[in-house]
């Protein structure tokens, strides 16, 4: 039995540019929220966020994808957004998150999926795609990584600082964090939207847990799955596109790893766009256009 809290619905009233209907699936006794817009018979674009954001991050991409004829599905990871939030950090693991995502794509019977992953959304998405190869047709990674061959060895100091802050700080100002890392100053309403899922400290266990889940050694419990995923990617011949921003100091140079090691990345129109770590805030429409062009070309 997982103890959890549920963010009151009125915390999400009057969000800017977020008119999407709420959809829910119960997984392990927890309610997982997802946005599902566009024609149900269209091939889905699966939009996965990272930490500490939620599907609000994709509000500037979803309308453009739908207008282009695609089905846009943006999931709130358990612990984030409108999804339920386990209150113990020990209830969060990489394997559990992948399992919860698996439950949703099984429930929706998704096929011919185009993955768009950023931050932890890329790691979880790649673990999901490499264990469901037949269901994923294309992959787009934006400011993302797959731990194991991710180049974070040179940035251990920054990673340890982030882990220490999220573990010990009495409060984590999520809206301010996203604003500072977005590549532009968010409006007060936008910052409130990022704060909305977390009305008090007991809601923040997922935000605190994710940095501690970054595998920093071969002994980490998540490492074997990451190694297996890299083995699949080493022979992945389906289209694999990287679109990174020009202002991410942590992950901004890791696109080269995918371009060099994934066969499906050869000959793709890889790009750099404006923005910080949360590049969707600056270049959302352009990212949607590049996803559409990849689908149209393949």
119 is catalytic: yes
Q: Find, among 240, 253, 244, the residue nearest to 276 by Cα.
A: 244
CA 47: distance to chain centroid? 7
pLDDT in tens, 212-253: 998 877 788 888 999 999 999 999 999 999 999 999 988 999
HEC string of 221-237 equals CCHHHHHHHHHHHCCCC
Catalytic residue among 64, 70, 277, 292: 277
How confident is the model at residue 150, as a pLDDT? 57
Buried b (16+ CB within 10 A) or exposed e, 218-234: eeeebbebbeebbeebe
* Separation of alpha carbons 144 and 51, rounded Å: 12
Catalytic residue among 147, 248, 255, 292: 248
The pTM (predicted TM-score) of the whole model is 0.97
| In contact, 6 and 83? CB cutoff 8 Å | no
State the architecture of 4-297 in CATH terms.
Answer: 3-Layer(aba) Sandwich (3.40)
248 is catalytic: yes
Which strand (E) or helix (H) includes residue 63? helix 62-67
Catalytic residue among 91, 119, 150, 195: 119
Q: Find, among 128, 39, 129, 29, the residue nearest to 84 by Cα.
A: 29
How confident is the model at residue 271, as a pLDDT? 98
All residue ranges of the chain with pLDDT < 70 are 148-155
Task: Collapse the DSSP code of 261 into the 3-class scheme (helix H, G, I; strand E, B; otherwise coil) and give the result.
Answer: helix
**Residue 162: HSE in the Cβ half-sphere, 13 Å Cα cutoff:** 16
């Amino acid at each position: 039995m997982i103890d959890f809290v549920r963010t009151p619905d009125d915390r999400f009233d009057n969000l800017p540019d977020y008119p999407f209907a709420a959809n829910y699936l119960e997984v392990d006794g927890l309610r997982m929220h997802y946005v599902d817009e566009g024609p149900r018979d269209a091939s889905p674009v699966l939009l996965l966020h990272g930490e500490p954001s939620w599907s609000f991050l994709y509000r500037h991409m979803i309308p453009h994808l739908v207008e282009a004829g695609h089905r846009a599905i943006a999931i709130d990871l358990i612990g984030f957004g409108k999804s339920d939030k386990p209150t113990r950090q020990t209830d969060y693991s990489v394997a559990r998150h992948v399992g919860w995502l698996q439950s949703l794509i099984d429930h929706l019977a998704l096929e011919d999926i185009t993955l768009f992953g950023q931050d932890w959304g890329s790691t979880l998405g790649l673990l999901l795609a490499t264990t469901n190869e037949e269901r994923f047709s294309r992959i787009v990674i934006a400011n993302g990584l797959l731990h194991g061959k991710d180049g974070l060895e040179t940035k251990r100091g920054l990673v340890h600082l982030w882990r220490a802050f999220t573990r010990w700080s009495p409060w984590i100002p999520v809206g301010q964090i996203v604003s500072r890392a977005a590549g532009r100053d968010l409006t007060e309403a936008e910052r409130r939207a990022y704060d909305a899922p977390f009305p008090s400290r007991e809601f923040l266990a997922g935000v605190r847990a994710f940095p501690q889940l970054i595998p920093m050694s071969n002994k980490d419990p998540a490492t074997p799955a990451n190694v297996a995923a890299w083995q699949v990617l080493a022979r992945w011949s389906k289209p694999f596109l990287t679109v990174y921003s020009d202002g991410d100091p942590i992950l901004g140079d890791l696109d080269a790893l995918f371009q060099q090691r994934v066969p499906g990345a050869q000959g793709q129109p890889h790009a750099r766009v404006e923005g910080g770590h949360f590049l969707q805030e600056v270049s959302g429409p352009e990212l949607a256009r590049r996803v559409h062009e990849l689908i149209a070309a393949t």
